[in-house]
Structure 1
Amino acid sequence: MDRHIKIIATLGPATETEEEIRKLVHSGAKIFRLNFSHGGEEFFERMVGIIRKLEEETGFTLTVLQDLSGPKVRTEDVGLGALEINKGTEVLLGTREQAGATDEPFICLNMPDLLEVIQEGDPVALSDGMLRFTAIRREGEHLVRLRAINSGLAPPRKGISFPGKTTPLAALTDKDKKDLAFGMKLGVDCVAMSYVQKPEDIIQLRAEMAKHGRKIPIIAKLERSAAIEALDSILEVTDGVMVARGDLGLEMNLAELPAMQKRIIRACNKLGKPVIVATQMLLSMVNSPMATRAETTDVANAILDGADCIMLSEETAIGRYPDEAVRFMRTIAYEIENFYYEQRNDEDTRFGDLEHPATYLAYAAAMLAAKTKARAIVSHSTSGATARILSSCRPRQSVYALTSDPVARHFCNLSWGVIPAVPDTSLSNHQERAEEFVKNHPAFEDDDVVIIAAGQPDPARDASRTQTNVVKLFVK
């Protein structure tokens, strides 16, 4: 059985050479994240050049995911050094101008607009949640008194968050706009937007993209409780979702996070939109060649939940064992996917709305593949939508997605079990293209049964509006 889960590898100092990235590709990573919170333009340009070279060399579709920084809120350094905080300590949170006006412990957040929305009783988290406070009262327009819930160090220039609070900060910053322009120039395949709070954030990013003459898929990173509350409306406008468990875990009780992950994944599966699970998947492998039992189970459960992609961050960006981390993820995927199909009835699907004819035909193709024990499903469509719908059925077979559109082809790479491919465009008939692909592809042997799902254009209609209208059982 082919392995269906997709692995995203973040590139960084540990994986910045052609040889290291080649190892990641052959170990199973086909999607590469460029984290624009770290690194410069020269690094990103070099990484894209290597990925495109390896794409041509290997024949694999390799997808470049640009991850924008977003409005990461950090405290400032006003020369007070790291504060030693004990449980119950009261600390002032305010602007730079107020730092020298008090002898009390002071944390500088030079963002007046954000300070204005903090109210008595609001939680405040510092240093990725390692230090927790409660706002006990306002002492001025831009000054808030906090009380520590636990003990620890509060160094300057650390991330600070306000769990459960809708902040007035725009999700698309000036830095993001500059980075986006550079990403469009480099030809990235899709863009992840950080700290999305509402559907308008996605719409704004898409409009900014249009200024550069490109329209590529957007992944909404769910890191704020406001985004969870607006999940349905965000799903209407985004192309995919990332469950960014690091910051999302600061926004809620950690005990609630596993159930929330499952709810988000289920919602994405129902709509056929790819969903990524990220953060601390195999974190111990940054420094160790072996993962922990808990991490292994976490990765397996994300796959069972229905994730399309699982993402490695520090493990491949700065870790000592990047190649081993990818290979171990693939090993987990092989074992857990075998278990998934062992205990699942082939007629049991995660399918959503069957009222649309094209959706029903995709469902029928998946069912036909199960009943005939077909070698694979081959879909041909312009947008790749058919392949994503088939993926949401979670068939045992791989789905080969034929499309001549490079944007659609690289985005299909994010969907469970989908293998993007280029059709023979010398043939005008989509069904014939699919059949020719099966005849010539080395993965298929004589007498293999393949299910073909195609959107055959009607010469009298706009071809761009053609949806799946043919399902065929084809024997090589």
Structure 2
Amino acid sequence: MRTKVIATLGPASGNVETIRKMVLNGVRILRLNFSHSDAESFRPLIAKIRQVEEDLNIPLTVMGDLCGPKIRIGVVDGAPHEINAHSDVYLGLPEIAGKATDRPFIPLDQTELLQGLEDGMEVSLSDGMLQFKVTETIEKDKLYRLEAQNGGLLSSRKGITFPGKNIALAAFTDKDRVDLTGCIDIGVDAVAMSFVQTASDVEDVQAEIAKRGVWLPVIAKIERQNAVDNIEDILKVADGIMVARGDLGLECKLSAVPVIQKKLIRAARHAQKPVIVATQMMLSMVKNPIPTRAEANDVANAIMDGADCCMLSEETAIGDYPAEAVGYIREIAEGTEPYYLRRIDGPYKPKKEINPIKYLSYSACLLADNIDSPAILCHSSSGASARVICSRRPEQQIYCLTPDKSVPGYLNFFWGMIPVVTDSTVPDHRKRLETYLEGNKDFPRGKGYILVSGQPTPGQTESKTNEIKLYYK
């Protein structure tokens, strides 16, 4: 299986046996949701993950998912209220509730969220279950009249969104700073950042990580229309993206999300960055032992779009069948990937540009196809060369040998990638590949293998990928 699976850990899966089963079914990344816990509470869980990692000798990635700013309304006086379609409510700062008493009043104590709100703009509550439009600006940036677009129950402390509106709210919160420090302390391998709107949001987190003297890949969660609009700039700085379809489906028209997903996946592959598709992939398996036909199609379509990873949330965190949900994604991937590879008809050809590494990687994929190689083996200190090979989507699995123990945690996000920490006592990069190939019984003899490495030449000032070797074992 080339598609990677991310499993969210929770009460249903926070034990060694279930983690082990999920890893054997294809999980390579374990997600810790910081919306509900702090770093210290996850420390015992990470110890269990590392135990499974050692027992199975499979590199695993622990991803801390920072919760970002929680945008919720305050206490609604007299709640719950039954709201009818086309009825009016007020939305405003709590201190001016006395100016609007003839209709239900929705208090919002974050002034910046009301700034720039104008007539005709949309407001969504309770994960989209209640939808409103602004019909009157009573007091700019302080008090508004809204008209309900549908009926439903208005309760206190529910989530609120403003589809399409630029929110002047920092994505990186004080809680996130504390949690990020905790992530580093307990040995998390990557972090996901919520509520990203611009590249600078990602850079804020990266700067904080750098202050700690370490490096962690930062995955930008794309759940805002602004993030979709700024995706090219975000991909320049982020180490990967997540198509977070839950909040994205509130921000954008639900009918637009499938096309947005395809565009985001394509943009990420062109940037040689991994992309995760998340939200409700196998949601029915929280209670049912098998997924619905629609869910199976959803997973298959994400794979055919070119997604690197599929992520499970409630399915593995609180569901009754966590290992089985992962198993179904594995089955779907194993059935879908051969069709996907036939459909793209060979590795993706680069556009015409001066980019020797990309063309060398493409050539390695073409040669691997031509000789029917079982695998492509790449030596890369940072993993950058292996990522370029991955972006061509070769049929072969990509084995990336690296001497840096922090790199495999990042490479686990990439489609078809198998990271290996290599023996750094062997000085020659190509020799490291040959030694690994000869000593690994999983690579049969009588076959040709493609080796990609960087061999210094007199004119090179730094080691870069510059060599393809056809190696017969």
The answer to whether the superposition gives a TM-score over 0.5 is yes
User: Paired residue for 1:29?
Assistant: 27
Distance (whole Å) between structure 1 residues aligned to residue 93 and residue 457 of structure 2:
64
User: Paired residue for 1:473?
Assistant: 470
Per the TM alignment, residue 27 of structure 1 is displaced from its structure 2 partner at its CA by 1.4
1:270–1:351 contact (8 Å) kept in structure 2: no
- Residue 468 of structure 2 aligns with an amino acid whose one-letter code is V
Residues 457/408 of structure 1: CA separation in 2 closer, same or farther (3 Å cut): farther
User: Paired residue for 1:50?
Assistant: 48
1:78–1:99 contact (8 Å) kept in structure 2: no
- Residue 31 of structure 1 aligns with an amino acid whose one-letter code is I
1:181 is paired with a residue of what secondary structure? helix
User: Paired residue for 2:379?
Assistant: 380
Identity across the alignment (%):
48
Worse-matched range after superposition: 193-202 or 441-450: 441-450
User: Paired residue for 1:440?
Assistant: 439
User: Paired residue for 1:242?
Assistant: 242
Residues 82/458 of structure 1: CA separation in 2 closer, same or farther (3 Å cut): farther
What per-residue deviation string (whole Å, max 9, x for no partner) do you get for residues 104-136 of structure 1? 211121112212221111100111111110011
What per-residue deviation string (whole Å, max 9, x for no partner) do you get for residues 383-434 of structure 1? 1011111111111110001011122221111100000001121200000000
Distance (whole Å) between structure 1 residues aligned to residue 169 and residue 254 of structure 2:
24
1:95–1:109 contact (8 Å) kept in structure 2: yes
1:119–1:138 contact (8 Å) kept in structure 2: yes
User: Paired residue for 1:187?
Assistant: 187
1:350–1:394 contact (8 Å) kept in structure 2: no
1:14 aligns with 2:16: no
User: Paired residue for 2:422?
Assistant: 423
Distance (whole Å) between structure 1 residues aligned to residue 81 and residue 449 of structure 2:
65
User: Paired residue for 2:83?
Assistant: 85
1:431 is paired with a residue of what secondary structure? helix
Per the TM alignment, residue 97 of structure 1 is displaced from its structure 2 partner at its CA by 2.4
2:333 is paired with a residue of what secondary structure? helix
1:15 is paired with a residue of what secondary structure? coil
- Residue 463 of structure 2 aligns with an amino acid whose one-letter code is T
User: Paired residue for 1:334?
Assistant: 334
2:413 is paired with a residue of what secondary structure? coil
Per the TM alignment, residue 221 of structure 1 is displaced from its structure 2 partner at its CA by 0.7
State the TM-score, normalizing by the size of structure 2.
0.96
What per-residue deviation string (whole Å, max 9, x for no partner) do you get for residues 306-349 of structure 1? 10001001110111111100000000000001222334422x51
Residues 383/62 of structure 1: CA separation in 2 closer, same or farther (3 Å cut): same
What per-residue deviation string (whole Å, max 9, x for no partner) do you get for residues 409-464 of structure 1? 211111000000011212000000001111111211221221000122458866xx
Distance (whole Å) between structure 1 residues aligned to residue 429 and residue 211 of structure 2:
33
Alignment of 1:448-463 (within 5 A): 448-457=447-456
Residues 460/425 of structure 1: CA separation in 2 closer, same or farther (3 Å cut): farther
Alignment of 1:24-423 (within 5 A): 24-99=22-97, 102-140=101-139, 141-346=141-346, 348-349=347-348, 351=350, 355-423=354-422
- Residue 47 of structure 1 aligns with an amino acid whose one-letter code is L
What per-residue deviation string (whole Å, max 9, x for no partner) do you get for residues 217-250 of structure 1? 1111111111111111111111111111111111
Worse-matched range after superposition: 429-438 or 79-88: 79-88
- Residue 190 of structure 1 aligns with an amino acid whose one-letter code is A
- Residue 193 of structure 2 aligns with an amino acid whose one-letter code is M
1:138–1:144 contact (8 Å) kept in structure 2: yes
Residues 376/468 of structure 1: CA separation in 2 closer, same or farther (3 Å cut): same
What per-residue deviation string (whole Å, max 9, x for no partner) do you get for residues 128-152 of structure 1? 1111100111222411111100011
1:224–1:247 contact (8 Å) kept in structure 2: yes
1:407 is paired with a residue of what secondary structure? coil
1:268–1:274 contact (8 Å) kept in structure 2: yes
Distance (whole Å) between structure 2 residues aligned to residue 406 and residue 212 of structure 1:
18
1:406 is paired with a residue of what secondary structure? coil
Tell me the C-alpha RMSD between the 2 structures: 1.6
Q: Which runs of 5+ in 1 are unaligned?
A: none
What per-residue deviation string (whole Å, max 9, x for no partner) do you get for residues 159-197 of structure 1? 110000111100101111110010011121111111111
Q: Which runs of 5+ in 2 are unaligned?
A: none
Distance (whole Å) between structure 1 residues aligned to residue 106 and residue 128 of structure 2:
15
- Residue 431 of structure 1 aligns with an amino acid whose one-letter code is R
1:396 is paired with a residue of what secondary structure? coil
- Residue 134 of structure 2 aligns with an amino acid whose one-letter code is A
Residues 201/437 of structure 1: CA separation in 2 closer, same or farther (3 Å cut): same
Residues 114/182 of structure 1: CA separation in 2 closer, same or farther (3 Å cut): same
Residues 445/146 of structure 1: CA separation in 2 closer, same or farther (3 Å cut): same
